Amino acid sequence: MRYRKEVDNVRAHVNTLRVVALGLAVLCVGLWWGWQQAPEHLRVHLTPELRSGGVVAADEVVEPAVYTFALYIWQQLHRWEDDGATDYGENIWRLQGFLTPDFRRYLQQDMEDRADRGELRDRSRAIREIPGRTYDSDRVEVLADGTWRVWLDVEIREHIDGELVKELQARYPLRVVRFNVDPEINPWGLALDIEDEAAAERLEVTVDEEGS
């Protein structure tokens, strides 16, 4: 009788282990499926001002991030280190993942127009944010869900053979849109787009009145 009871206990224990093993197998399959369904990349746009704390949802684009993106890409587009005749086109090609197709075509036409006017060859160019005119909430306008207008106040300096030929300050309205492409190409998930309503405004000219 005692032997039979021991056998029953062993069988019950084995059955319990089978149930546990089956449960673990189901759990592993569920975890594997969830891992397969999870996004490979998750964008989180954080505001530069974190001292006061804040809650940001995944893939939510905050306005300071939109402004920072627009300024960075605009500076990179118009940074001609040696010769605008080659640097401008190379910049458009290098940054095409951050430009909508329409805006890329617009820039290519702008490059051709500048070349025809003699505003590229042997010319270096740099753009920087005007000191004291950095980001504030008025510089980013929400046009629609996933569409913004950014106002940049920048200083432009151009040189030919080391000689300053242009120095001006201008306000550029830039249109920024959500742009879901490969995050390896564009981790921001944003792009510059054609701005067809507002026009650039010249704030101050100190050298050379031609072109902008």
* b/e sequence 93-107, b meaning 16+ C-beta within 10 Å: eebbebbbeebbebb
Tens-place pLDDT, residues 147-183: 999 999 999 999 998 899 999 999 999 999 999 888 8
Average pLDDT over residues 185-198: 85
What is residue 207's predicted lDDT score, i.e. its pLDDT? 47
Q: Nearest CA to 68 among 131, 136, 127? A: 136
- β-pairing verdict for 201-207 and 163-178: antiparallel
CATH code of the domain made up of 63-207: 3.10.450.230
Cα separation of 70 and 152, whole Å?
8
Tens-place pLDDT, residues 16-36: 777 777 777 777 776 766 656
Cα separation of 212 and 209, whole Å?
8
